Amino acid sequence: MQNYSREEAEEFLDTFLSYKNRLNKAAGNSFCSDSWDDTTAHIIGLGKTEYDRNIETPRLIFERERKADYHESFAYCIPHSDDYAKLTDAGYNLLISETQNELKEIERADEDDIPPKIYRQFPKVMKVCRLLIDKRWQEAVTTYHNYFGPGYADQWPLDSYLIPNFVSELKKYRMTE
């Protein structure tokens, strides 16, 4: 994301996915797994000659996958438009809306329905939620880690990982040096 514009990344992703789609069609569109995705990405990475050979003879794709003759693909790292949006405050509007909903649920919770150990954590959870809603990013991240530790969601008391995910996204996109 630091090296290419949003438009360049989107164009690359569209091109990459269209080549993967053509390989899938050549193979009959009947396979979907991590190893299949890795195999097709690997074939694309090998260049035009190998790609064309596999389009013409799809059994080669199956043979490569069966033999595990590919390197793992990290194509999910190709930035999407949502990733670029998260470089700005506006890119968090959906997460803020979801956080507002989660905060309302917490505030409506009946103490008798919640295990006491979790219920005692609610004031901390609510504080982090309010900081996120107010877009006080650095304070929210710091408070989250002060209350719940340095891990991703190791000490997070709720079943929902909305807030740990929100904090993780902020650290990745907004708290960079």
Q: What is the pLDDT of residues 53-95, one digit of tens each?
A: 999 999 999 999 999 999 999 888 888 888 889 999 999 999 9
The whole-model pTM stands at 0.71
pLDDT for the residue 77: 85
How far, in whole angstroms, is CA 25 from its chain's centroid?
26
- Give the Å distances, CA to CA, from 156 to 20, 107, 116, 128, 162: 38, 17, 15, 11, 10
Q: What is the pLDDT of residues 29-39, one digit of tens each?
A: 877 788 999 99
- Among residues 18, 26, 24, the alpha carbon closest in space to that of 57 is found at 26
| Distance, CA of 73 to CA of 71 (rounded, Å) | 6
Q: Where are the domains of the chain?
A: 6-80, 86-173
